[in-house]
Amino acid sequence: MARRAAAPPRLREAARAFEAQAFAALLKPAFATADPSRGPLGGGAAEASWQPMLVDAIARAATRGGQGLGLGDAILREMLRRQGETPTPEETPRP
């Protein structure tokens, strides 16, 4: 029988970090197709250098606190399952 335990904080953080990376990968094409000369900063080399950092920051903010795509919850459940643990109700996502 699987034991019921709260997920270790490091495991939960790893799942959320992975979700943020996946979300950033989805956002990058949207930023790549935008015309930087029409944006508030007018484009240029400096904008091109900080744009990946902006995409990553948006993705981290969107997935902070368990919000986001729900991918982090699914990953956490799978990591716990592979360790032989059952997620507690607060770790199980709401429908």
> Do residues 55 and 15 touch, judged by C-beta distance below 8 A?
no
Per the prediction, the chain carries an average pLDDT of: 80
> pLDDT band at residue 27, thresholds of 50, 70 and 90?
very high
Q: pLDDT for 41-76, tens place per residue? A: 677 777 778 888 989 999 999 988 777 888 888 988
- Residue 56 has what pLDDT? 94
CB atoms within 10 A of CB 25: 11
> Do residues 4 and 69 touch, judged by C-beta distance below 8 A?
no
Q: Which whole number is the average pLDDT over 34-41? A: 70
Cα gap 47→29, rounded to integer Å: 16
Cα gap 42→38, rounded to integer Å: 6
pTM of the model: 0.69
Q: pLDDT for 78-94, tens place per residue? A: 888 888 866 665 555 55
> Do residues 87 and 3 touch, judged by C-beta distance below 8 A?
no
Place of tokens 């368990």: 66
- Residue 60 has what pLDDT? 93
